[in-house]
Structure 1
Amino acid sequence: MAAPSVTKVFKILPASDFNTWKSSGTFSGAGIDIGDGFIHLSTASQSGETYKKWFSGQSGLVVAEVDLEKVEDTVKWEPSRGGDLFAHVYGKIPYSAVTRSFEDVNVKLFEQLEAEERS
């Protein structure tokens, strides 16, 4: 199965983790990432389902858009939920790889991001 042809992926995380990422300049992962040994990322078309499965009902979240070219040496596309390929970063993500961030996190945001990915 070939890796998706996308240039941006997304990380959903608590605002406190995002603020630490921004101030320190690097992100080593949230608790689940550290436990799994890689940083979980989703394409726009996957991120809505990721939000519903792991973050629904939580407040104080940020969605960070990550430029894959800035982390391409550490990304592996691996099967996960439903056999879909997900981007996993084996290493740290520099804050310079963040192209946009969103604080108003809801289902409509993910619909918008997916529409952008398709266009």
Structure 2
Amino acid sequence: MMVYKILRADEWAALQAEGRLAGSPDDLRDGFVHLSAADQIEETAARHFGGEEGLMLLALEVGRLGDALRWEPSRGGALFPHLYRALQLTDVAWSVPLPLEGGRHRPALP
């Protein structure tokens, strides 16, 4: 099973350069890395990245994240995956651009 992280271009570049990323400003504020299940990607993109170009969608294999991954209630009680450690480049199974089409981000999951 996969969970997903949306990164801005500078965050993706930092992860690639340093091999780890503590998270976005929202992640740092909340004390965990915000992730999404496949069916949560579009809403997450709309709420937190509306209109932004140059986003990347990263897929993370749940089994690689171990006990640092927790599913916790968020919007409307829905369970969201949260990672309680820095995101590691080795966590990334694959990555693809998250294009903005017609004002919305449309993930193309392989």
Does TM, scored on the shorter chain, surpass 0.5? yes
Distance 1:104 1:52 in 2: 12
Report the equivalent of 2:48. 54
Q: 1:11 to 1:76 in 2, by over 3 A?
A: same
Which structure 1 residue ranges, 4+ long, deviate > 2 Å from structure 2? 104-110
Cα distance, 1:23 vs structure 2: 1.4
User: 1:109 aligned to 2:106?
Assistant: yes
Structure 2: which 5+ residue stretches go unaligned? none
Q: Given residue 42 of structure 1, which amino acid in structure 2 is its aligned partner? A: S
Structure 1: which 5+ residue stretches go unaligned? 1-6
Cα distance, 1:14 vs structure 2: 0.6
Higher strand proportion (structure 1 or 2): 2
Q: 1:108 to 1:91 in 2, by over 3 A?
A: closer
Distance 1:20 1:77 in 2: 26
Q: CA RMSD in A?
A: 1.6
Match of 1:91 among 59, 63, 85: 85
Match of 2:72 among 78, 90, 93: 78
Cα distance, 1:73 vs structure 2: 1.8
* Aligned-partner SS, 1:48: helix
Report the equivalent of 1:44. 38
Q: Given residue 66 of structure 1, which amino acid in structure 2 is its aligned partner? A: L
Which segment is superposed worse, 34-43 or 54-63?
54-63
Cα distance, 1:109 vs structure 2: 3.3
Number of corresponding residues: 107
Distance 2:80 2:66 in 1: 13
Give the alignment's TM-score, normalised by structure 1. 0.82
Q: Given residue 31 of structure 2, which amino acid in structure 1 is its aligned partner? A: G
CA contact (8 A) 1:29 1:39 kept: yes
Identity of aligned residues (%): 35
How far does the alpha carbon of each residue in 1:19-60 deviate from its partner, in whole angstroms, 9 at most, with x for none? 110111112111000000000000110011101111120112
Distance 1:43 1:93 in 2: 16
* Aligned-partner SS, 1:71: helix
User: 1:35 aligned to 2:32?
Assistant: no
Higher helix proportion (structure 1 or 2): 1
